[in-house]
Chain A
């Protein structure tokens, strides 16, 4: 509810975006929705002089759960960081609501687009409630340090991520899954309509990975645009509504998971021989790596697996 409202008011304020939307819709360039709020064109991304990606064009469909996948060091986290303006591109532009993201005032941007970076450090001895409260920074000021609104939003964010019961606990005492939910709660407290998550499931065991992804899916269902970088292709295929596959700093494929995840594409992106079957739980594509001896005649048993799962 709140994110939708924020989005509407911003679009209304930045009048420039409306005509752009109309022309794009007329041209019909984007399959999903015209003139997405967050997009990048001609991005060259580099750390110091080491170029990670060149000539990237990407559009994040509005209200999508977009997941960026690709092998290690393909530039997916770098792309996410550029989309959040944490990394300044060497060339090209990122636009948000029709304006160059570089020209957005820092606090206004932080009220519109949230990023959960990979590298956050919980200050020593901080409690869950205090950490979540830090997400209110862009809404606060020297004379507006802790309004009733702040209090309410922080409580709601902890409720939504299931960490309300942990509010007075120290963040250092929590399990990895709990801690990740606390960080997500902090990003939620920012009340942004776009939420970018950099590998939110890394270092978590499988149950906590699913827990975090279910939470992301719920945040998406509530109306936010969620963009996440994930390692696990199967999880990406299950949760994403829009998949971006990268390799060597290029975008190889983009679209709904069912179209993007094919055996050939997986071979191209990850260099992995596999077969793609339907996920028996969700019906989304499921990548099953080929057995080492699959080339010789092990058609028997994998075939059986496929039959079983297709029932």
Chain B
């Protein structure tokens, strides 16, 4: 039906999206509404135009907010100055301030936000529940325990803290998968087991804090709030690598993941290798959450919050993983900017800002889900 609008000129080089047919309401029936179709030779790609737009808009917003954040501080810089410096055309002092001092922090904020947004979308899709997020399922608490062990028992360096966060998060993931069991790694059961683990770990973490020396405890509490202060490329780099990997896996498993949302049996009947896909995506989500915690501490609620507005904006069913990642990046960049500017002369850690916003969101979610009869 769309054939007339597909340019055959694209056959020569299949990447030419210029030849894509935008299936309007009239072109290809309801299945193709708002869909960008690329068909050349044996290749056919289908993109949700609205989802692409939402993702791009969020990404642009995240970058703009980051430029403003970089421009602020004791040496204010204009928007143009920051952009020029980032692209290597600034003078020596702005180059130093932007690229050495402020850009690493902004990049960490974007990477942590994107990782949490993506992890949240994956968890919520796998759990088939909007409450699936690393903060509620115990992964964040697991990372926290790893860090507390590193600080309190080992008196660790910042590298040890990061390692503790990753190891703690991954071990929690393994524990939860073992408890949930092979046939139940989804839905209600994952949420219930996760909430239970989160409660236990919170108790253990409290105990570890009471065992700490006062200076160690102060350091631990600072980490626990979630902060981007003094972050440099060492924190951002592992996360950026993981994000690239996770993005590629998410794209290649996207269709299988959407099928999984219809239930295990339906997915199996359609030929999805259910256990393999779910195991892979769960591992990706756990690693994203753990590396995000290693980079910025347990920044709460971004993973929980980002996927739902992303879904409402794209109006698409499915996990909306990439729009959610872009929205998460924008949210965290904005929260960090707000934390720096909101109270004059005083910086709020980013975790405090997301906590305040996220708590409000959770109450709103619970009340709307209840009205809709889903909780």
Residues of A within 8 A of B (CB): 81, 84-86, 106-111, 114-130, 132-135, 137-138, 140, 142-148, 150-151, 154-155, 167-168, 187, 190
Contacts and interface: CB of A to CB of B under 8 A. Distances in A.
B315 A114 contact: no
Contact of B261 (A81, A116, A121, A167): A121
B363 interface: no
Interface string B51-88: 00000000000000000000000000000000000000
A167 B44 contact: no
Given A115-B268, A137-B270, A146-B45, 13 more contacts: A84-B268, A106-B268, A119-B263, A123-B317, A137-B259, A138-B271, A143-B42, A143-B43, A143-B45, A145-B44, A151-B31, A155-B29, A168-B30
A81 B264 CA distance: 12
Contacts of B42: 143-144
Contacts of B1: 151, 155
A121 B255 contact: no
B34 to A, nearest CB: 11
Contacts, number: 119
Contacts of A107: 271
Nearest to A155: B29
A117 B3 CA distance: 35
Task: Give the interface residue-count category, chain B.
Answer: 35 or more
Contact of B318 (A123, A129, A168): A123
A114 B273 CA distance: 15
B262 A167 contact: no
Interface string B150-194: 000000000000000000000000000000000000000000000
A109 B30 contact: no
- Interface residues of chain B: helix, strand, loop or mixed (majority): mixed
Contacts of A168: 29-30, 33
Contact of B270 (A123, A132, A135, A148): A135
Contacts of A150: 44
B28 interface: yes
A155 B311 CA distance: 27
A65 to B, nearest CB: 19
Contact of B272 (A84, A116, A137, A190): A137
11 contacts: A106-B273, A107-B271, A117-B265, A118-B265, A120-B262, A121-B128, A124-B311, A145-B255, A147-B44, A148-B39, A151-B32
Nearest to A140: B255
A114 B29 contact: no
A138 B270 contact: yes
A111 to B, nearest CB: 7
